[in-house]
Amino acid sequence: MGLFGFGNYNKPGPGVSKDEPQKPAPIRFFEILWRKLSKLSLANLLFLIPVVIVGGIIYLLILMPYQPVYVFTISGSEFLFNLWQMYVMPLPLILLSPFWGGLTFISRNFVREEHAFVASDFWKTVKSNWKALLINGVICYLAYVILSFSFIFYFSLLSSSAFFYVPLAISLFITILFIFAQYYIPVMIITFDLKLRQIYKNAFILALLGGLRNLLMTIFFLALLLGAYLSLALGPVFFIALLLMILILFAFCNYLINFAAYPLIDKYLIQPQISKDTALEKAESDGEILENKPAQSEKSEEDEYVYINGRLIKKSDAEDKNL
């Protein structure tokens, strides 16, 4: 069993020799980034294709003449709530979820210092994982709708009672935890053949375990968004920001996420089981385990997983497919 209840992990791909001493993380980050810069730029251009299409859809929504505004009254005060801008215009962003998974596959392989055929692996990952990634995008959108409305609602009630600081703080905590979990979910979807609820369970645990690195990443991305917003008022800076977005920005952000997130996945989900499997193989080779081992229960067999070609799949499925 792995740490979070999913068993029989084997090492995914050759990677770097474990006997080779690793350089400090900041040095490895920039070394890999420099070596793979051209390929990350190509992956960024591939990701821009759906970005431009989705951006065009959002632009058409902006041009719609009728944009409903909801007015609600609390404690005698009226609050305007533009439903169209808040919830309809961001809706097409869900369509980017599968393509973010394709970008994640490229970045994950580079972080593991493995090869990736950028174009073919990008589209192959999108094709083979689009359903789970799209469902995750829908979940993100629903979480945004619920949590954003909760913030507006509870914030508007603060003047009537200090009690509403409690649900407001709870909403903030859930939002932060959900954002942190999203750093792990796409890479787990493309790496593990697990149910989405299992991936979410592991992702929320990792969101807590990697709290500091997740917080630093979030602060960095917020600063990046602020810089992008401020660049709109500065002509030359805006064109530089636009050029960076076209050439590298999305791939760089994805690479940063995976560089920070994948080591935790490896540490808590993969390496403990690798150690267990190694010990078991050694015991078998030393004759400490009898050949006629007791048959495992049906439930135990269903719970066993094994790595095949970098993906975690059920052992029974691998045997059925003769992998």
Query: Mean pLDDT lowest for which of 8-12, 40-44, 67-71, 297-301?
Result: 8-12
Residue 275, H or E segment = helix 271-285
Per the model's pLDDT, the better-predicted residue between 285 and 306 turns out to be 285
For residue 224, pLDDT beyond 50: yes
Q: The whole model's pTM is what?
A: 0.82
Please give the average per-residue pLDDT across 144-149, as a whole number. Answer: 93
| Distance of alpha carbon 69 from alpha carbon 296, whole angstroms | 60
Query: Mean pLDDT lowest for which of 37-51, 130-144, 167-181, 304-318?
Result: 304-318
In which residue are the tokens 């602020």 written? 226
pLDDT computed for residue 123 by the predictor: 97
* DSSP sequence for 232-263: TT-HHHHHHHHHHIIIIIHHHHHHHHHHHHHH
Parallel/antiparallel/unpaired status of strands 311-314 and 77-82:
unpaired
> What confidence tier does 230 reach under pLDDT thresholds 50, 70, 90?
confident
Residue 6: CB atoms within 10 Å:
20
Instruction: Kindly report, residue by residue over 70-89, the tens digit of the pLDDT.
Output: 766 655 556 667 788 889 99
pLDDT computed for residue 79 by the predictor: 64
Per the structure block, which two tokens stand in for 52?
Answer: 């431009």
| Distance of alpha carbon 299 from alpha carbon 48, whole angstroms | 44
> What confidence tier does 197 reach under pLDDT thresholds 50, 70, 90?
very high
Per the model's pLDDT, the better-predicted residue between 70 and 207 turns out to be 207
| Distance of alpha carbon 272 from alpha carbon 2, whole angstroms | 7
